[in-house]
Chain A
Amino acid sequence: QPMQMENPYKDPPKRCVLCGINVDYKNVQLLSQFVSPYTGSIYGRHITGLCNKKQKEITKAIKRAHVFGFMPVMFKNPQFLTDPKLCNIKY
């Protein structure tokens, strides 16, 4: 008789880009990668491709960085314009 077991060929759960990384309001470079360079608005989940928790953490950290004076609000810091692209967006 066939033995009941869970699917052994299952792929490991897909990890988002920030899966092991600690998000901090101080590292403006990481935060700026999820912000539009033209308007400074935060990208949504369908663009960044992050899991629930990480998206929420990033949003909170970005808002904090805005208030505390670490990150500009209306645009992206020109220093970080040439960073590698993490978001699925076409300009």
Chain B
Amino acid sequence: KPETAAALKRTVEALMERGAIVRNLENLGEKSLPYKISKHKERHKRGGYFLIDLEAPPSIVSPMMDHLGRDIDVIRRAFVKHPVAKAEGCSGIIPASPEEKLTARKN
């Protein structure tokens, strides 16, 4: 457990160094991985999942992926954009008009 804490601390510090503002850090628990992952010459079966909420310029992404790739404690790394809540909600299934079905379409 101190190793995970140290790894997290390293990551957050590296992020702050490059000018990222860390908003939140969530622990999604330690679970057994859905499939065995080989990384850094080891076959891993269990792992801890962490989610870091952050605001950063997009130029950070590639150097951070590099940095995390070299870290032995990190099994899989990823950056995901914040899901934006859409303005208009789901309006339901609109039945397609017969003219649409007759015109040629890419699908």
CB distance from A57 to the nearest CB of B (A): 9
A53 located at the interface, meaning its Cβ lies under 8 Å from any Cβ of chain B in the complex: yes
Q: Is the interface of B mostly helix, strand, loop or mixed?
A: loop
B89 located at the interface, meaning its Cβ lies under 8 Å from any Cβ of chain A in the complex: yes
B69 located at the interface, meaning its Cβ lies under 8 Å from any Cβ of chain A in the complex: no
Q: Is the interface of A mostly helix, strand, loop or mixed?
A: loop
The one of B49, B75, B90 in contact with A15, judged by C-beta atoms closer than 8 angstroms, is: B90
Q: Are B92 and A69 in contact (CB under 8 A)?
A: no
Interface residues in B60-107 by Cβ distance below 8 A to A read: 75-76, 78, 80, 83, 85, 89-94
CA gap between A54 and B33 in the complex, in Å: 27
A51 located at the interface, meaning its Cβ lies under 8 Å from any Cβ of chain B in the complex: yes
Q: How large is the interface on A (under 10, 10 to 19, 20 to 34, 35 or more residues)?
A: 20 to 34
List of A residues within 8 angstroms of B93 by Cβ: 13-16, 51
Q: Are A67 and B92 in contact (CB under 8 A)?
A: no
Q: Which chain B residue has the least Cβ–Cβ distance from A68?
A: B78
List of B residues within 8 angstroms of A12 by Cβ: 92
Q: Are A69 and B34 in contact (CB under 8 A)?
A: yes
CA gap between A64 and B81 in the complex, in Å: 12
List of B residues within 8 angstroms of A51 by Cβ: 90, 92-93
CA gap between A74 and B91 in the complex, in Å: 34
CA gap between A73 and B33 in the complex, in Å: 11
Question: Chain A residues in contact with chain B, CB under 8 A?
Answer: 12-16, 18-20, 22, 24-26, 51, 53-54, 64, 67-74, 77
| 14 A-B contact pairs sorted by A residue (CB < 8 Å) | A13-B94, A16-B90, A16-B93, A19-B89, A20-B89, A51-B92, A68-B76, A68-B78, A69-B33, A69-B35, A69-B76, A70-B34, A70-B49, A77-B34
